[in-house]
Structure 1
């Protein structure tokens, strides 16, 4: 028997890249949330000047929850097929858009940086912001995460319906054994050698009670009984 790759591998190959992109996006978002996005210095005239470092979890509070949403989306992709999987792709695209907005705004200098930094640092009303600086690296990481999530969303939204359905079919052991028996029957009808079947199909056929080496499916075993009945 000639060993061939398992059937589920090529059908699942289209899902692997979106999953990798979603995992990458989640990792980048989590890493960015732990880094300092904005450093603000302030003075209130009564105490010593102080400096506050605002990490991604403070500056963009939804960053970590969005990363968790992507991880949950990965599990949902594996558990679904067809249009629900494409719907997950749309939701992943929304996550990408939400992630990109604050990082893009910070990189381009949009909005009132000092006012937002003072509010997030919970400075007293009498305090005055003397300086506010941004770190570009965490914003770039968040933007890359958004791009990775967007790429995953496009791949999921454009995933062919038949590919997803076949993947689910061959992930089901019962359906896989039925399909293997059907392929063995087709192989016998076409009078082709057993080597044309993959090793996975042969084993599934054996599990289903079908011997791929027989010329006909248990027809020979029934012939003597039939002949005996006619003689009687």
Structure 2
């Protein structure tokens, strides 16, 4: 009676979403440390200047979003049911936000040079002569965001097995039947006159079954086997 819940609990552990979240967080963190844009500028007075903008500079929320995904890994094990589904929605939203800057850079939004000049904090007289976008780190952030999105979708889904198992053990009819079967089993193993264990007594009382009623256990046993009492 106790093996099925244990096996189902092991199977219900969110191993895949947690692994995807870990990979997504690592991807966003690595992308935030890579160079996204190289901006070239000149002010007419000094040598031309070259600045490299990493992911954390290009999109300031990239590192915090990676930390949010790390925190969500711990939250997955701390919550269950509807709260875990809500967590999945939050993770999906974070993934969507994390994918925006990388996607904009890859497709080319037409304002890369202007934005690069602003983020590089160039002197007022400096003029941006060119900006080179590095697609690799941007693609890495997109892949990480997709992994986080998949993890969020998986977290929002509730497995049928866990729902059916929960429904069965929340149903008083099944609980009483299991308690009666446990009482009958122990009486057959130890003898009717032998005292029942504390665990069996408490389980039976919690299920609304009288563990001292031998007739009830016998009737339940006869009904389950199809024999006349």
In the superposition, the TM-score normalised over structure 1's length comes to 0.70
Give the aligned partner of residue 127 of structure 2.
128
Matched residue count: 186
What CA distance in whole angstroms lies between the structure 2 residues aligned with 1:164 and 1:78?
A: 18
In the superposition, the TM-score normalised over structure 2's length comes to 0.71
Residue 9 of structure 1 pairs with residue 10 of structure 2: yes
Distance 1:222 1:110, change over 3 A: closer
What CA distance in whole angstroms lies between the structure 1 residues aligned with 2:190 and 2:27?
A: 56
What CA distance in whole angstroms lies between the structure 2 residues aligned with 1:75 and 1:116?
A: 36
Instruction: Report the Cα offset of residue 159 of structure 1.
Output: 2.2
Residue 117 of structure 1 pairs with residue 116 of structure 2: yes
| Contact map agreement 2:31 2:140 (CA 8 A) in 1 | yes
Instruction: Report the Cα offset of residue 29 of structure 1.
Output: 0.2
Query: For structure 2, which runs of at least 5 residues remain unmatched after alignment?
Result: 167-176, 197-229
What CA distance in whole angstroms lies between the structure 2 residues aligned with 1:71 and 1:165?
A: 31
What CA distance in whole angstroms lies between the structure 2 residues aligned with 1:123 and 1:139?
A: 23
Give the aligned partner of residue 88 of structure 1.
87
Distance 1:49 1:165, change over 3 A: farther
Q: Which has the higher contact order (CA 8 A, sep 6+)?
A: 1
Residue 148 of structure 1 pairs with residue 147 of structure 2: yes
Give the aligned partner of residue 206 of structure 2.
none
Give the aligned partner of residue 29 of structure 1.
28
Give the aligned partner of residue 188 of structure 2.
215
Give the aligned partner of residue 68 of structure 1.
67
Instruction: Report the Cα offset of residue 165 of structure 1.
Output: 10
Instruction: Render the CA deviation track for 1:14-41: whole Å, top value 9, x for unaligned.
Output: x111111111100000010010000001
Q: What does 1:166-181 correspond to in 2, within 5 Å?
A: none
Question: What is the DSSP-based 3-state SS (H/G/I as helix, E as strand, rest coil) of the residue aligned with 2:194?
Answer: helix
What CA distance in whole angstroms lies between the structure 2 residues aligned with 1:4 and 1:62?
A: 44
Query: For structure 1, which runs of at least 5 residues remain unmatched after alignment?
Result: 168-181, 192-211, 224-232
